[in-house]
Amino acid sequence: MPQTKLIYYQETEGSSAVVTWLRELRAENPRAYAKCLVRIKRLMELGHELRRPEADFLRDGIYELRSRLGSVNYRVLYFFHGRNVAIVAHGITKEGDIADVEINRAIARKTAFAQNPEAHTYKEEL
């Protein structure tokens, strides 16, 4: 299976919630950041084949990368575009179930990306 291309989602004006979240996480908790980065790299390696405990399907084409450090759960929501492209929508820190508002935000980003992939592809370095 070919490696999955990874794209970070960006808003139309150029900001990227997941990039901002990852940068803040790197500054606040380098160990948690490193764990999330390992999951992102595994997504690139395995794509659709990535399964629990590293990833899980939520609903409506939205998946989560799952990391844990101590009692804190870190989740990176993503979706696929085509066969070998994964778009990382945003990251969250959670204690319970993922709130519907977070999944709905990822669904909206998936719809926007499908309509205009170029406008929603983050181009800067992480």
Residue 43 · residue 50 · CB < 8 Å: yes
Cβ neighbours around 18 below 10 Å, total: 24
Burial class (CB in 10 A: 0-12, 13-18, 19+), 39: buried
* Tens of pLDDT, residues 5-59: 999 999 999 999 999 999 999 999 999 999 999 999 999 999 999 999 999 999 9
pLDDT digits (tens, 9 = 90+) for 84-122: 899 999 999 987 788 999 999 999 999 999 999 999 999
User: Do residues 74 and 25 make contact, with C-beta atoms less than 8 angstroms apart?
Assistant: yes
Q: Show the domains of the chain with their CATH numbers.
A: 5-117 (3.30.2310.20)
